Amino acid sequence: MIYLDNNSTTRLAPEVWTAMSEAWSNGLVNPASQHRGGQRARRALEDAREAILRHLGARTAGMRPDRLIFTSGGTEANNLALTGLVQPNQQVLISAIEHPSIFATARHLSSMNIDVRQIPVDHDGVVCLDRLGELLRERPTCLVAVMAANNETGVIQPVSDVARLAHDAGALVHCDAVQWVNKLPTLFSTWDVDCLSLSCHKFHGPVGIGALCLKHGVTPRPLFFGGFQEDGLRPGTVALPLVLGFAAAVRLFEPGIADSLQSLRDHLELSLAQRLPIVVNGSAALRLPHTSNVAFLGRDRQALLLAADRHDLCLSTGSACSSGSSERSPVLLAMGLPANVLDSSLRLSIARDTTLAEVDQAIDILTAICSS
Ligand code: PLP
């Protein structure tokens, strides 16, 4: 199988498996227990938390340390941020290209009479800062949600500029960094966002764990009730083996990873462009190094996906959370792309374990399908 669907999920790294299986077989106990076993577990939990916070560029020392709240994944972290930080009689602004977990939460907020408005993106898929400024001036705003980089196109968003504009208007900023983390350095403090979501299975860690990183002093209302764990913001016994897998997964990050991913991705795009009539969506903007959104002009994306699957080549038509539907991608629609591009676009996403040979095979398969 040639797996070019790494934005949906990635394969578990052996180092992560080892860290988790050691945790399971060493009989780690509940970190909330008072006995020495519990204390040991708590130390392991807090060490992992600190390592992840440091990896995210968050503050771990001093008078105003940031916090990391473990969740079940990116979807829960996004839900916690949005529902937990809304204020009555103030609007919420979300970019027009957010993940379905933000859109669906926004729809839920709208049903509770919260005014949610969208910030448009330009033709390259970058959020329009001028329009954000106007929207902020129109009404009091409690929260602005703009992702670090889009999951379908990889297009990187001007997060620091968004944060500056939002803070000047008295609003908090949430950043969904699910596709960003471990591909490029995450700069929580430098970006100056108030909360940031991440998901471990997107970077070779276990599925079922993610986190919300919170700036010092930012406290969302919890989604769940029942205990004091995670500062009461996410009660319930923490899944310590998953947390230790999480810490092992962030340790996989190497500064050179972006360059090697990008050269493989560029090879994929250039080779396809030499053989087939394609358009790479969002290619004029800065993009994540592992994501490519390609319109195979004249081809139907759904038929192409199925044909590729018959050759054991795994691709996707968009977010895994909206797949199964044959609707056009809301992200590409928001970019104002023409119908022939919308109907022929597929996402190809690589990872640190994708080989050049696999990419070359994928190029051959796609060329053969599109030429038949
Ligand atoms: N946000 C983005 C940008 C994503 O790509 C995804 C998953 O595809 C999520 C959030 C949801 O993460 P999870 O699968 O951990 O719930």
Atom of ligand 1 nearest to the CA of 9: 8
Q: Is 164 helix (H, G, I), strand (E, B) or coil?
A: helix
Q: pTM score, two decimals?
A: 0.97
Whether 321 is catalytic is yes
Residue 321 CA to ligand 1 centre (angstroms): 8
Q: How far apart are CA 87 and CA 68, in angstroms?
A: 22
Ligand 1 mean position to 197 CA, how many Å? Answer: 9
Mean pLDDT of the chain: 96
Tell whether ligand 1 has an atom less than 6 A from the beta carbon of residue 179: yes
Q: Residue 29: which pLDDT band, with cuts at 50, 70 and 90? A: confident
364 C-alpha vs ligand 1 centroid, how far in Å? 30
Å from CA of 298 to ligand 1 middle: 30
Distance 89 CA to ligand 1 centre (A): 29
Residue of minimum CA distance from atom 9 in ligand 1: 74
Decide: 101 in ligand 1 pocket, CB within 6 A: yes
pLDDT at 322 over 80: no
Report which ligand 1 atom has the smallest distance to the Cα of 77. Answer: 16
Residue 178 Cβ contacting ligand 1 at under 6 Å: yes
Residue 65 burial (10 A CB sphere; 0-12, 13-18, 19+): middle
Domains contained in the chain, CATH given: 2-10+255-371 (3.90.1150.10), 14-250 (3.40.640.10)
Q: State mean pLDDT over 353-363.
A: 98
Determine the residue type at 340.
Answer: N
Residue 184 has pLDDT above 60, yes or no: yes
Task: Kindly compute the dihedral angle of the four CA atoms of residues 263, 267, 270, 275, in this order, to the nearest 10 degrees.
Answer: 180
Mean pLDDT calculated for residue range 3-10: 98
Ligand 1 pocket check for 153: Cβ under 6 Å: no
Looking at residue 324, its pLDDT comes to 55
The pLDDT of residue 296: 98
Residue 326 has pLDDT above 90, yes or no: no
- What are residue 68's phi and psi, to 5 degrees? -125, 120
- Which strands make up the sheet holding 141-145, listed edge to edge? 67-71, 210-214, 195-199, 172-176, 141-145, 91-95, 116-119
CA neighbours within 13 Å on the CB side: how many for 148? 25
Which has the higher per-residue pLDDT, 23 or 297?
297
Position in ligand 1 atom list of the atom nearest CA 320: 8
Quick check: CB of 210 below 6 Å from ligand 1? yes
Look at residue 261 and tell me whether its pLDDT is greater than 90. yes
Tell whether the model's pLDDT for residue 46 goes beyond 60: yes
Token pair for residue 327?
A: 């609707």
Task: Give the position, in ligand 1's atom list, of the atom nearest the Cα of 76.
Answer: 16
